[in-house]
Each structure stands twice: as structure tokens, then as C-alpha cells.
A and B are shown apart, each in its own frame.
Chain A
């Protein structure tokens, strides 16, 4: 068995003005074929106006086992949200 083609992650912009969103992945030997496979696999019904393909091995992911230390500090900082501040109702446009 020859070496398996590497994996690429596929991101689709569904229409102008929106961000690219992860759709899935494809195997391909190079960027051009990754793009063609992504088109054939994920946009058979006008699902997008733009595609990104990224080598899966190039993605750096956070460690789910470290979710706590990673994201908890933000949870304790509710003063970052507007609802933290009490302003009397009579004050408008704020």
C-alpha cells in the first residue's frame, strides 16, 4: 500500500459577508487537488462562494484537558459584559 494522501481541513464561506466555517476534511496529495476535492465533496449544491483548505497537521488546537485553566479566567470577569453595570432606567440611550 502506498503512503496515504495527507488530510486537509475544508472551510467554506457560504455567502459574501460571512466568515469561512469548517465543513469537514479531504485527503489530497497537494493544495490544488485538495481544493478540487473540497469543491466536489462539499459544494455540490452551491454551498459556498469561497473555499479554504488547510493542512490538518498545520492546525494548532487547544487541549480539552486544559479547558479549565484555559477558559475559566474569563468566566470570573463578568465586568467585561455591559449587564454588569446597573444604570437607572430613566437614563436613556446607554
Chain B
């Protein structure tokens, strides 16, 4: 997911950092266990702070980088209506990034530092955005599947233990539902169109299905930091629980529009009341995390170019304000 622990398990992941007052740690743990919200100025363990900065900034980066694959189709949307909708969606994603950077900043890391970490390749973002958007149907598939998976992940985060993050998620979730619906509507139109259009929709589903269910992150037995994050109520559900939920709600949506989920092992399991599905190729996932995704380099270049080419605007605005401040002081 946007927020999942990316990269191979880190054996020396911090659990408790030496030197912290045990009484403070105990009081903190009790507050979190009682479902209280932690606010910026409250005392918190250093490991909690670091985990949050990493998770929230990674989530923010994913929103911002996520604008790129869809932005790619803005000028080629098939109608004015589709274009207005896509523009609004992409703008929302920019807004989500901003809410999240602000939430992370309350933990004492500046937005410039976070953006610098993204552009220098130190910070991660969701692997899903390192796949290309080849046809218009990909815009449908992204809204339906990628935003659908994001919703699955973000709804429980509205009750995450860190107040500013939870509040940002409330705002994001309010806006997210339209993203998924407009995507499904695109798929519905294509699937009900000419044979070529239907084939285009099926092709998009074929390419986006597996990356979408990988978005929930590694399986629970290979996700060592999950337990700590669950205990601290940063995470509310495990990767596998969320993935299962997503598969269960999405398969009938595909069936309804006559598309086939590209998984020969997919079968309804009446006993568990959910679908069984085929094995996920985690080596592909880790390769994409390492920056080997089909368009990873292009994405980062687009980000850096946008940042560099906007520098003069940021500087001019600062210079203008500095001149006015000097005049006010005179």
C-alpha cells in the first residue's frame, strides 16, 4: 500500500530506543492501548516518531508521484467530461500529498527535507506508480483498482493513533470514493463498447490486477514491523486481511462488467466466505521497490524536473515578500 513497509525486512528495526524514561514509555503505551490520540506536542517514543515520519511521508510521496501516470492522459482524455473529471482527480491527489506532508511536518521533519529524500532516491513511494499507463483503459483501471485498494487501506487509518495523520485520512477518505467510481465508470463504458474497447479494458485489468493486490505489501509472515505498528495502533489491519477484503469486493465488480480477473487459481471458498487466489510474485514486487519498475527513472526525472523548473517561482515569491517586509519595516 501507499504506507506499507517497503523493502526487505529490516532486522535492526527499532523497537525501543535506550535511554527513554520507562515511565514515559509505559504511559504512552497505555494511552495508545486505550485508543487515545497522540498529538504533536505529546511525549512519544523516538521509534514511534520515526516510524510515523517514514510512513506518512511515504504516503505523501505516493500521492504526489501518483499524479504522474494519470497526468499522462489529461490532454488525451476522450471527452471534455472525462477530462474535467480526471483533472479534478489528479488535483485531489496533489491535495492528499499536501495534507500528508503537513501531518508529517508536525513530527519535526520539514517538507523540504522529505521532498529532498524523495528526489535523492532515499525515500520510497508506492510501487504501483512505476508501471506505465499505456492506454486510456489504464486510467479506468487505476481509478477502480488502485484507488480502490487505497480506500481499503485508508479507511482504517482514520483511526490511526497519531491525531494529525488520522485527521488527514478523514479528509482523504471523503474525496477518494469519487476516484474509484469514475474509474469503474470508464471500465464499464469500455467493457460495454466495441470488441476492441472491451479488449482494451481486459488488457488494462490484466496488467493492473497483480500490481494492485501487491499494493497491500508483503504477506503478514514476512512483515516484521507490522506487529509493532499494530500495537501502536499506527496500523489497524494486517496486509493479508486488507488484501483479502479487496479481492472479495473487487472480483464481483469485474464479473458484473464481463471482465475476467487474470488469475487461474481464483476460486470462491465457501468455508472462509472469501476467494482463494494464486501466489503473488514477490520478487517482482521487491524489484520494483528497488527502482527497477518499468518507468521508475522516468517518474523520478519528472518529479525532479518539476521541482527544479519551479524554483524560480518559489524564489520570486520569497523575494517579493522580503521586499515588502523591508518596506513595512522602513
Contacts and interface: CB of A to CB of B under 8 A. Distances in A.
B320 A30 contact: yes
B116 A1 contact: yes
Contacts of B92: 44
Contacts of B167: 24
A41 B111 CA distance: 16
A45 B168 CA distance: 16
Contacts of B95: 40-42, 44
Contact of A2 (B99, B171, B318): B318
Interface in B263-317: 311, 314-315, 317
Contact of B168 (A24, A27, A40): A24
A1 B320 CA distance: 18
A7 interface: yes
A29 B314 CA distance: 8
B122 interface: no
A63 B41 contact: yes
17 contacts: A4-B110, A4-B111, A24-B171, A25-B105, A29-B314, A29-B321, A30-B320, A30-B321, A30-B324, A33-B317, A41-B98, A44-B91, A44-B175, A61-B41, A64-B41, A64-B42, A65-B43
The 7 closest A-B pairs by CB, nearest first: A30-B321, A29-B321, A29-B317, A25-B102, A4-B112, A64-B41, A29-B318
B10 interface: no
A3 to B, nearest CB: 7
Contacts of B171: 23-24
Nearest to B178: A45
Interface of A: 1-5, 7, 23-27, 29-30, 33, 40-42, 44-45, 61, 63-65
A10 to B, nearest CB: 9
Contacts of A41: 95, 98-99
B220 interface: no
B109 to A, nearest CB: 12
A2 B317 contact: no
Contacts of A45: 175
Nearest to B167: A24
Nearest to A28: B317
Contact of A24 (B99, B116, B314, B318): B99
B112 A1 contact: yes
Nearest to B315: A2
B46 interface: no
A33 B91 CA distance: 18
B39 interface: yes
B309 to A, nearest CB: 14
